[in-house]
Amino acid sequence: MNITHLLSKNGIPYITEGHKHSTKGWINIHCPFCSGSQNFHMGISEDLKICNCWRCGVHSTVDTFKRLLNLPYPEIRKLLDEYSENSIGVRKRIPEPKVSINPFKFPEPNFPLNKYGKKYLSKRGFDPEYLEQEWGLKQTAPISFLDGIQYSHRILIPIRWGGKVVSFQSRDITGKSDLKYLSCPTRREEKHHKTILYGKQEAWLESKGIIVVEGPADAWRFGPSSAATFGTSFMMEQVLQLAKHNDRFFIVFDNETNAQKQAKKLMIKLRTLGKYVRIEKVDDDPGSMKQDDANHLVKQLLK
């Protein structure tokens, strides 16, 4: 038996897929802690380590099932053990071999940074050769396509996870496109970029803290101790990935109202997981800081 049997036996509705709030690896139920519409806002991780509601936040599995079943804590712990097929949770899935009909690839043609790409990055205060070498930046041609989508005149930003490139983001360098940023088509991503983070993953465990920023340019500015969430919005998968890699976080989002609201939400999520978190405000956009100022801030935060 597994945890879904416990839910079914007690008449608790749940979903595992096919709903806007469902996420692979999670079982979703109506949250027993918050009021309002019941729309499967709470996810139970399949290893039973955490329950997270998209509205009211993180709760322990034991507290969640106590609220659902109205039983004493000892009985709840016994039930969770009984309905888990191993000591940590739901029955283990055997990975199925997958052959993608849409393997990952970059828009074509693409090539190393040319004078236009380098000029764009230099105007923003970056060293193009350094970014090309350390972050693997590339560039598209005046006419470049992928799956019928036009990626012309863009900086290509590879997204690495687990030691390999799994997706990409691109940045318009003309100032004329309606879409400044254009990401890899979802069907081409080996990992959806909003479930992971951008940065030097191998450096985060060794760092004295992680500086959480919005976009790749902010990560370039702050260096290997930073991680970008690809915008002010974030997903719980990203929160959990951050929590796996460090215990101290400094959130440096843009100094505007919505970005700061999101920074506070992220701070609450990480603090609920027992992490040290602080919001650090800068004058404007972290990616627009002078490099010397950014280096000084990193040194102060991670001292």
Encode pLDDT of 148-164 as tens digits: 999 999 999 999 999 99
Cβ atoms of 233 and 248 within 8 Å: the answer is no
CATH 3.40.1360.10 holds for 198-301: yes
List, for residues 182-203, the tens digit of each pLDDT value.
999 988 999 999 999 999 999 9
List, for residues 226-276, the tens digit of each pLDDT value.
999 999 989 999 999 999 999 999 999 999 999 999 999 999 999 999 999
∠ CA 95-98-104, rounded to 5°: 125
∠ CA 91-60-49, rounded to 5°: 30
For residues 173 and 289, give the distance between their C-alpha atoms in angstroms, rounded to a whole number.
Answer: 19
Helix (H), strand (E), coil (C) string for 157-179: EEEEECCEEEEEEEEECCCCCCC
Q: DSSP H helical segments within the chain, as ranges? A: 3-9, 61-69, 73-82, 115-123, 128-135, 201-204, 216-222, 236-245, 257-272, 291-301
Q: Where in the chain is the domain with CATH 3.90.580.10?
A: 3-82
∠ CA 173-174-176, rounded to 5°: 130
Least confident of 31-40, 58-67, 226-235: 31-40
Tokens matching residue 122: 């230099």
Tokens matching residue 71: 């039983």
CATH 3.90.580.10 holds for 3-82: yes
- Please list, residue by residue across 211-239, b when 16 or more beta carbons sit within 10 angstroms of its beta carbon and e when fewer do: bbbbbbbbbbbbbbbbbbbbebebbbbbb
Q: Where in the chain is the domain with CATH 3.90.980.10?
A: 108-191
Region for residue 70 given its phi and psi (left: phi exceeds 0; alpha: psi -120 to 50; beta: otherwise): left
Q: Where in the chain is the domain with CATH 3.40.1360.10?
A: 198-301
For residues 30 and 33, give the distance between their C-alpha atoms in angstroms, rounded to a whole number.
Answer: 9
Average pLDDT score over residue span 55-82: 84
Least confident of 13-22, 123-132, 231-240, 289-298: 13-22
- The pLDDT of residue 87 is 34
- The pLDDT of residue 61 is 86
- pLDDT of 97 > 70? The answer is no
Cβ atoms of 244 and 272 within 8 Å: the answer is no
CATH topology (fold) of 108-191: DNA primase DNAg catalytic core, N-terminal domain (3.90.980)
- Mean pLDDT over the full length of the chain: 88
- The pLDDT of residue 217 is 97
Rg value, the chain, Cα = 22
Tokens matching residue 154: 């863009």
* Residue at token pair 């309606």: 178
Tokens matching residue 35: 């009021």
Phi, psi of 44 (to 5 degrees): -110, 120
* Residue at token pair 């496109």: 177
- The pLDDT of residue 85 is 52
Q: Which one, of 116, 158, 7, 130, lies nearest residue 68 by Cα?
A: 7
Please, which residues have CB within 8 angstroms of residue 56's CB and are 6 or more apart in sequence? 31, 33, 34
